[in-house]
Chains A and B, each alone.
Chain A
Amino acid sequence: MVKIHGIGASDGMIMGQLVLYQPDKVKVEKYAVEDAESEIQRLKEAQQEAVNSLNKVYLQSLKRLGEKDSMIFQIHMMMLQDEDYTNSILDKIRQENVNAEYAVQETGKEFAERFAQMDSEYMRGRKADVIDISRRLIQCLAQKDGTKFCLDEPSIIAADDLTPSETMQLEKSKVLAILTRNGSRTAHSAILSRTMGIPSVVNLGDDFQKLRDGMNVIVNGTSGDVLLEPNEAAQNTYQQSREEYVRNRNELKQLLGKKIVTRDGRVMSVNANIGRPTDAEAALENGADGIGLFRSEFLYMERDSLPSEDEQFHAYQQVLQKMGDKPVIIRTFDIGADKQLPYLDLPQEQNPALGYRAIRICLDRTELFKTQLRALFRASAFGNLKIMFPMIISVEEVRKAKAMIEEVKAELSKEKIAFAPDVKIGIMVETPAAAVLSDELAKECDFFSVGTNDLTQYTLAADRTNGKIAGIYNQRHPAVLKFLEMTAKNAHAAGIPFGICGESAADPELTSFYLKIGVDELSVAPPSILGLKKRALTMI
């Protein structure tokens, strides 16, 4: 038994027989041509044929994978017809009097080399695209029937590199896994194997030479490990973890769309915490009942200037549309403390966690807050939006923020811009002050959501970023749990829902406590949703 290692490019574990991938390679010979123009005519016909055959692959892919993942074949068609590429081939035929196959091969090499020298890893990966199209064109010139590679039975495929069109043409039901000598996680074929759900390990390097046709191998696309001719013990371990993996996944998948209804008939929703608009997809795939926390500050980070109203509007609109009628709670920006923005030029503070942050910035730099509120209300027309304010410590702050909302609504009405009339407004309960005043705050809000990370930090006076006191920072501390219980009671007395969106929402030790105090909503990272639902279902 030999263990080799590459980069895990597509998750999953599988055992099977190895087949070395040998596409129908055409050997290109160089010879002189007398009539360059008729050689060029031959090239043009082959070019057309190559575009037509790619168009077929594109249409096939469109049906199976959708537009986004099929775009690469359109790019290939454009590359094949690109003026610079074509001119380079024509020049070689005319000036060097060589045959078209050779001119294509040389041009392909030159263009591939250009990509190989570029700075970005992604662009270097495009070298494979140029080689792919050039090979296709050569095959058309040689009148060979392209890459015919048939698998008799389900197998693990090993190739130096797989081009996107080669990956696409593989029969999905017969490919157990894909191994490559070269390639990266960002290569298109890796992206395609992830979309198709085929486990894959890339970049095996020199170890690739140890692979032989017909070998029995175990592929772990998550860790990047590949076992060659595994012994009995390794096979048994594999069988066990494979069974467990499949069982767990299937079991959890059964819970998709399942609601958690407690014995007294209340629904506890399990929502997703997200940071980017595109995360909404992962939320839905993992069975989220809604978005419990969209951290809007991520739209402000990793850039040089504030996001405009339009930019924000598009981001919020995207999430709301994706989620349909499911609720989406967007938290207004929580900037400051551990999330600094260089372009805002906020002064250094001695105690940032206790300083100028979140709602405190909003109510001071009202122009920033207003831009966000306008974007939010404009987006509200496209789904089920709820807005939540962070770091609240007083009733007065909530009233001020709500007054700004009224201003924004009046402006939008005047400008005849549509917005939802009844957007629910809630607060994060993440300061001891908010928990203690939760009875009064409940009268001003439509919902509560507890941010347990900060609530723990402020209640226990324990910096959550200080590793030295990590043992003291305890989200299950009785004082924190008492605050939760008290806030839940006050929320319910006022008839508003009570949720938790901090890390500890996913804490398995606390699920039964949450059910007991009547939590209406838990919001966690998308991959944790189904596991949490499963646990809650065994407790009700």
Chain B
Amino acid sequence: MQKFTYTIKDEEGLHARPAGLLVKCAQKCSSKVTIECKGHSADAKRLFAVMGLGAGKNDQLAFSIEGPKEDTDCATLKDFCTAHL
């Protein structure tokens, strides 16, 4: 299992657009991707669940990535966060 954390820099937090992009990115990964934030966890491939985290600016997202391709998937998600969140 791979893990990393990321602190949200976007002013509006994980709002509709970035959440949509994040879910799209996660859906392309073959691994199981879970996000934990403020004591709640969500399947990163499900939009309502990710939006339901209500993650705002400066909140920390803890990613867990599990599967045969977890290394590359982890890198993909990291790049995505830096570029979009």
A contacts, CB < 8 Å to B: 71-72, 74-75, 78-79, 82-85, 111, 114-115, 118-120, 122-123, 126, 129, 188, 303-304
Q: Can you give 22 contacting A-B residue pairs, CB < 8 Å? A: A71-B16, A72-B16, A72-B17, A74-B20, A75-B17, A75-B20, A78-B24, A82-B46, A83-B45, A84-B48, A84-B49, A114-B48, A118-B54, A119-B56, A120-B13, A120-B56, A123-B15, A123-B51, A123-B54, A126-B51, A188-B16, A303-B58
B contacts, CB < 8 Å to A: 9, 12-13, 15-17, 19-20, 23-24, 45-49, 51-52, 54, 56, 58
Contact between B48 and A85, CB atoms less than 8 A apart: yes
Residues of B within 8 A of A85 (CB): 48
Residues of A within 8 A of B16 (CB): 71-72, 75, 126, 129, 188
Residues of B within 8 A of A83 (CB): 45-46
| Distance, CA A82 to CA B24, complexed state (A) | 11
Residues of B within 8 A of A120 (CB): 13, 54, 56
Contact between B47 and A75, CB atoms less than 8 A apart: yes
User: What total of A-B pairs shows CB separation below 8 Å?
Assistant: 51
| Distance, CA A115 to CA B15, complexed state (A) | 12
A85 to chain B, nearest CB (A): 6
| Distance, CA A409 to CA B64, complexed state (A) | 40
Contact between A114 and B13, CB atoms less than 8 A apart: no
| Distance, CA A71 to CA B12, complexed state (A) | 16
Contact of B52 among A71, A114, A129 (CB under 8 A): A114
| Distance, CA A79 to CA B9, complexed state (A) | 24
| Distance, CA A123 to CA B12, complexed state (A) | 9
B58 to chain A, nearest CB (A): 7
A131 to chain B, nearest CB (A): 14
Closest to A74 in B: B20
| Distance, CA A79 to CA B19, complexed state (A) | 11
Residues of A within 8 A of B20 (CB): 71, 74-75, 78
Contact between A111 and B56, CB atoms less than 8 A apart: no
Closest to A130 in B: B48
Closest to A68 in B: B17
A259 to chain B, nearest CB (A): 35
A326 to chain B, nearest CB (A): 26
| Distance, CA A320 to CA B58, complexed state (A) | 27
Residues of A within 8 A of B45 (CB): 83
| Distance, CA A118 to CA B16, complexed state (A) | 14
- Interface-centre pick from B15, B19, B48 (highest chain A CB count, 10 A): B48
Contact between B23 and A78, CB atoms less than 8 A apart: yes
Closest to B82 in A: A310
| Closest CB pairs A-B (n = 5) | A75-B20, A82-B47, A118-B54, A84-B48, A78-B47
Known: A71-B16, A72-B17, A83-B45; 10 extra A-B contacts, CB below 8 A, are: A71-B20, A75-B19, A75-B47, A78-B20, A84-B46, A115-B51, A118-B52, A118-B54, A123-B51, A126-B16
Residues of B within 8 A of A114 (CB): 48, 52
| Distance, CA A188 to CA B20, complexed state (A) | 15
Residues of A within 8 A of B48 (CB): 79, 82, 84-85, 111, 114
Contact between B54 and A119, CB atoms less than 8 A apart: yes
| Distance, CA A129 to CA B45, complexed state (A) | 19
Residues of B within 8 A of A126 (CB): 15-16, 51
| Distance, CA A111 to CA B48, complexed state (A) | 8
Residues of B within 8 A of A78 (CB): 20, 23-24, 47
| Distance, CA A357 to CA B45, complexed state (A) | 47
| Distance, CA A122 to CA B19, complexed state (A) | 13
Closest to B17 in A: A71
B52 to chain A, nearest CB (A): 6
